[in-house]
């Protein structure tokens, strides 16, 4: 039997396929029902988790203007993923739900309380995607002029994790006794303040919620820099990653696994899921045709450049499409994504870089469901595990794309014995550790 791998689904709480020819019901995802239906389809397909990306600003990186972002709904509107996570949790029963929450934005107490609340609503299926934010425009929404430099952000985030871990542990798992005989709800001796005083944070504690069913939420992280990977190796239960091709995926996974082992953790407790954007057709030719049309369309090129601009704070509108980039670009934002995109040293034109990397897929997955399933299986065998985080290669999520994956690709993967066919665990962390 082949080794099974894990699947997550990547989206944010954003516009749906409002302008698609098959979108009679589109345009109103804001009550969350669109995402609930998506989550239920993913749960029927046995995904490990639905991951909700988030950022906290409206970008003006592309051409120093918000026009492109608002006109084309690129990375905006973006509604708060936390209430959606609660709604999805209440409308599903087995799949995990992960929300991004930034350590820059939330005081640790509020974040720990929010996570404990959602993990209880989700009955142990909630995950927190730990981010430090990556844009000056986001920092400016929180009283700063500029985003702190990456190294400082991570130093603060390590201390932040100390605070929230102590808060999650501030109630013993058996603190709630509900003893009718003594009329005792909670045993006060099992709930303690933390009196945390660090360099950046100060917090009295304890939490005023009951404990998380999982003890603490499942931790998801996406650090790409050496410091980011070390952070993930220390804290994460699952890492969401981008890499260039199978060799890049293997190098990434090997690196975080060895970092985790050096810290005394079992590397198998960390599941690295690589971003992948499968593009399917009834036949390989049809899929290839769709892919070629997509990556050469002016709308896709503009969309990709604006999107990369928003999470790297780089203005790609100033570079010529048919020339290579003038030199190596750096950012205080998502350097890993930028490095993957710019393929420094390849001498490819910007147009070629978009064709290669515009969908953000770690490997190219274009073909009929069986072809793509086989390719995913081969890639995982070479990489060693642990799975993929699937996102749409198209501009928006769509019901059609969700159906293609859940009704086409997933059955092909299941026929090959490559992915789960049932949930056996109650909690998300246990689901991830099942294999
Ligand atoms: C698949 C993936 C998803 C990410 N999701 C988010 C997100 O939702 N919000 C966010 O602010 N950053 C997000 N990031 C950025 C990471 O948190 C991190 O800042 C980035 O990977 C760069 O790593 P570094 O900070 O170590 O340089 C994501 C990155 C990747 C690869």
Per-residue pLDDT band at 24 (split at 50, 70, 90): low
Determine which of 25-34, 93-102, 250-259, 324-333 has the lowest per-residue pLDDT on average: 25-34
| Ligand 1 atom index nearest CA of 225 | 26
Q: How far is the CA of 336 from the centre of ligand 1 (A)?
A: 8
Here the tokens at position 80 are 């708060």
H helices of 122-273, in order, are: 136-139, 150-168, 226-235, 245-262
Rg (CA), the chain: 22
Write b or e for each residue in 91-109: b if 16 or more Cβ atoms lie within 10 A of its Cβ, otherwise e: bbebbbbbbbbbbbbbebb
Q: How far is the CA of 274 from the centre of ligand 1 (A)?
A: 12
Nearest CA to ligand 1 atom 4: 222
Please report the pLDDT score of residue 25 as a whole number: 66
Here the tokens at position 255 are 């690196």
pLDDT, tens digit, 9 for 90 and up, residues 47-100: 999 999 999 999 999 999 999 999 999 999 999 999 999 999 999 999 999 999
Whole-model pTM?
A: 0.97
Q: How far is the CA of 28 from the centre of ligand 1 (A)?
A: 27
Nearest CA to ligand 1 atom 31: 241
Q: How far is the CA of 50 from the centre of ligand 1 (A)?
A: 16
Higher-pLDDT residue of 159 and 20 is 159
100 close to ligand 1 (CB < 6 Angstrom): yes
Mean pLDDT of 28-38: 94
How far CA 229 is from CA of 180, 226, 270, 337, in Å, comes to: 49, 5, 12, 14
C-alpha to C-alpha distance for 233 and 298, rounded to whole angstroms: 39
Please report the pLDDT score of residue 313 as a whole number: 87
DSSP state of 53: E
The count of other CB atoms within 10 Å of the CB of residue 189 is 8
Please report the pLDDT score of residue 395 as a whole number: 81
Mean pLDDT of 156-171: 98
222 close to ligand 1 (CB < 6 Angstrom): yes
pLDDT at position 305 over 80 = yes
Burial class (CB in 10 A: 0-12, 13-18, 19+), 187: middle
pLDDT, tens digit, 9 for 90 and up, residues 321-343: 999 999 999 998 888 888 889 99
C-alpha to C-alpha distance for 286 and 420, rounded to whole angstroms: 28
241 close to ligand 1 (CB < 6 Angstrom): yes
Nearest CA to ligand 1 atom 29: 222
Burial class (CB in 10 A: 0-12, 13-18, 19+), 36: middle
Backbone angles phi, psi at 286, to 5 degrees: -60, -40
DSSP state of 295: H
Is residue 270 within 8 A of residue 236, CB to CB? The reply is yes
Q: How far is the CA of 56 from the centre of ligand 1 (A)?
A: 13
3-state percent breakdown (helix, strand, coil) of the chain, nearest 5: 45, 15, 40
Cross-strand pairs, 101: 130
Beta-carbon contacts of 33 under 8 Å, excluding residues fewer than 6 positions away, are none
223 close to ligand 1 (CB < 6 Angstrom): yes
Nearest CA to ligand 1 atom 27: 225
Per-residue pLDDT band at 21 (split at 50, 70, 90): confident
Beta-carbon contacts of 239 under 8 Å, excluding residues fewer than 6 positions away, are 220, 221, 222, 223, 232, 256, 270, 271, 272, 273
Beta-carbon contacts of 65 under 8 Å, excluding residues fewer than 6 positions away, are none
The SS3 assignment for 335 reads helix
Q: Please give the mean pLDDT across all residues of the chain.
A: 96
CA dihedral 76, 82, 85, 90 (to 10 degrees): -130
Nearest CA to ligand 1 atom 8: 53
267 close to ligand 1 (CB < 6 Angstrom): no
| Ligand 1 atom index nearest CA of 53 | 8
pLDDT at position 271 over 80 = yes
H helices of 180-278, in order, are: 226-235, 245-262
Nearest CA to ligand 1 atom 16: 222
Cis peptide upstream of residue 77 (ω within 30 degrees of 0): yes
53 close to ligand 1 (CB < 6 Angstrom): yes
Please choose from 56, 98, 334 the residue to mutate so as to test ligand 1's pocket, defined by most ligand atoms within 8 A of CB.
334
């Amino acid at each position: 039997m082949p080794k099974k791998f894990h699947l997550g689904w990547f989206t944010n709480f954003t516009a749906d396929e409002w302008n698609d020819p098959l979108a009679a019901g589109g345009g109103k995802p804001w009550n969350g029902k669109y995402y609930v239906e998506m989550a239920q389809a993913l749960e029927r397909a046995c995904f490990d988790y639905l991951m909700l990306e988030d950022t906290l600003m409206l970008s003006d990186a592309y051409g120093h203007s918000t026009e492109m972002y608002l006109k084309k709904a690129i990375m905006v509107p973006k509604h708060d993923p936390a209430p959606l996570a609660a709604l999805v949790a209440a409308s599903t029963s087995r799949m995990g739900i992960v929300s991004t929450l930034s350590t820059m934005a939330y005081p640790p107490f509020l974040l720990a309380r929010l996570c404990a609340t959602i993990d209880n609503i989700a009955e142990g299926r909630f995950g927190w995607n730990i981010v430090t934010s990556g844009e000056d425009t986001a920092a400016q929404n929180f009283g700063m002029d500029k985003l702190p430099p990456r190294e400082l952000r991570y130093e603060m985030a390590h201390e932040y994790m100390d605070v929230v871990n102590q808060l999650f542990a501030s109630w013993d798992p058996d603190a709630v006794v509900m003893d009718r005989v003594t009329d005792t709800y909670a045993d006060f001796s099992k709930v303690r303040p933390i009196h945390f005083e660090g360099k950046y944070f100060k917090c009295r504690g304890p939490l005023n919620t009951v404990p998380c069913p999982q003890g603490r939420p499942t931790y998801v992280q996406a650090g790409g820099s050496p410091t980011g990977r070390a952070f993930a190796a220390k804290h994460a239960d699952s890492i969401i990653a981008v890499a260039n091709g199978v060799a890049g995926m293997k190098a990434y996974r090997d690196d975080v696994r060895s970092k985790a082992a050096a810290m005394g953790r079992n590397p198998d407790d960390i599941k690295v899921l690589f971003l992948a954007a499968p593009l399917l057709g009834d036949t390989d030719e049809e899929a290839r045709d769709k892919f070629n049309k997509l990556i050469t369309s002016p709308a896709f090129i503009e969309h990709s450049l604006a999107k990369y601009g928003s999470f790297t704070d780089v203005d790609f509108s100033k570079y010529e499409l048919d020339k290579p980039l003038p030199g190596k670009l750096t950012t205080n934002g998502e350097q890993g994504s930028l490095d993957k995109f710019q393929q420094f040293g390849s001498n490819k034109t910007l147009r070629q870089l978009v064709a290669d990397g515009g969908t953000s897929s770690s490997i190219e997955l274009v073909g009929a469901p069986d072809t793509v399933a086989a390719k995913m299986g081969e890639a995982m065998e070479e990489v060693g595990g642990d799975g993929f985080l699937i996102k749409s290669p198209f501009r928006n999520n769509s019901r059609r794309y969700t159906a293609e994956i859940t009704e086409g690709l997933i059955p092909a993967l299941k026929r090959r014995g490559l992915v789960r066919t049932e949930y056996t665990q109650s909690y998300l962390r246990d689901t991830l550790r099942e294999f």
